[in-house]
Amino acid sequence: MAAASVIARRGKADACAAAITAHYGVTLPTGPRRAASGDVVFAGVGPWRWIATAEGADAAEFVAQLRERLVFVAAVTDQSDARLVVRLRGPRVRDVLAKGVPVDLHPRAFKAGDVATTLVAHIGVQIDMLDDGPTYLIAAPRSMAGSFWSWLTASAAEFGYDVSRS
């Protein structure tokens, strides 16, 4: 998965949003939400700050193109190698996540398309809710992948889990 951080330049948030709408056909979210256009997703992770991802895309190409399209309106930085990304799905997934995620993930509080940047077991993560499956996407720093995995498997063990590669 290709990934890049996108930070709007000062006073250029609207221009940045317009450029993204023009090129990707999505409305850039203004809060902690994700907006998808095919395989390209923009997730709001802070004020005037997004993580853009593209499933299956070549990292260097995706980032170079994004940078070109947002030149002078946003700082685009390659983060494709910075993250371990896992997709979690299943009826007990919220019970697993409750063992480390301090954010309220109840369906009333956190809906499909919502995004949170938070800490799990002292590890900074980005959590996206994809659908009401429920399915969640969690991105953790690459260097802490082992510790994150240790927490995840320990937390899921009580309910049982399967691992597959996407």
Partner 1 sequence: MSGTHRLQSGGLIDRGKPLSFSFDCESHAGFAGDTLASALVANGVKLVGRSFKYHRPRGIFTAGSEEPNALVELRGGVRREPNTRATVTELYDGLIAASQNRWPSLRHDIGAVNDRLSRFLVAGFYYKTFMWPAKFWELLYEPLIRRAAGLGRAAGAEDPDIYEKAFAHCDVLVIGAGPAGLMATLAAGRTGARVILADEDFRLGGRLLAERCEIGGRPAVDWVAEIEAELAAMPDVRIMRRTAVTGVYDHGQYSAIERVNDHVATPPEHEPRQRSWKIVAKRAVLAAGAHERAIAFGNNDRPGVMLAGAARTYVNRFAAAPGRRLAVFTNNDDGPRTAADAREAGIEVAAVIDSRTGARVTRVRGRHGVRLIDVADADGRTSTIECDALAVSGGWNPAVHLTCHLGGKPVWNDEIAAFVPGALPPGMTVAGAAAGALTLARCLGGGMTAGVTAAAACGFAIAAITQPRADDEGAAVTAMWHVKDSRGKAFVDLQNDVTTKDVALATQEGFGSVEHLKRYTTLGMATDQGKTANVLGLAILAQASARAIPQVGTTTYRPPYVPVSFGAMAGHHRGRDFRPTRLPPSHAWATEQGAVFVEAGAWLRAQYYPRAGEADWLKTVNREVAATRAHVGVCDVSTLGKIEIEGANAGVFLDRVYANTFSTLPVGKARYGLMLREDGFVMDDGTASRLAPERFFMTTTTAQAVRVMQHLEFCHQVLWPALDVQMVSVSEQWAQFSIAGPRSRDVLAKLVDADLGDAAFPHLGCREVTACGVAARLFRLSFSGELAYELAVPARHGDATIRAIMAAGAEFGITPYGTEALGVMRIEKGHVAGNEINGQLTARDLGLGRMMSTKKDFVGRVMAQRPALLDPERPALVGFKPVDGARRLRAGAHFLKIGAGATAENDEGYMTSVAYSPMVKSWIGLGVLRRGPERIGERVRAYDPVRNGDVEVEVTSPIFVDPEGARLHG
Q: Which parts of this chain interact with partner 1 (CB under 8 A)?
A: 5, 7-11, 59-60, 74-75, 77-83, 98-104, 106, 108-109, 121-123, 141-148, 150-151, 154-155, 157-158
Which of 36, 59 has the CB closer to partner 1?
59
CB-nearer residue toward partner 1: 25 or 143: 143
In angstroms, what is the minimal distance from the CB of 135 to partner 1? Answer: 20
Q: In angstroms, what is the minimal distance from the CB of 20 to partner 1?
A: 16
CA-nearest of 76, 83, 104 to 20 is 76
**DSSP states of 94-132:** HHHHTTT--S--STTTS-TTBEEEEEETTEEEEEEEEET
Q: Which is nearer to partner 1, 25 or 47 (CB)?
A: 47
Amino acid identity of 59?
Answer: A
- Tell the smallest beta-carbon distance from residue 56 to partner 1 (Å): 15
CA-to-CA separations, 49 to 42, 54, 90, in angstroms, rounded: 10, 17, 30
Q: Which is nearer to partner 1, 37 or 80 (CB)?
A: 80
Q: What whole-number distance in Å separates Cα of residue 133 and Cα of residue 160? A: 17
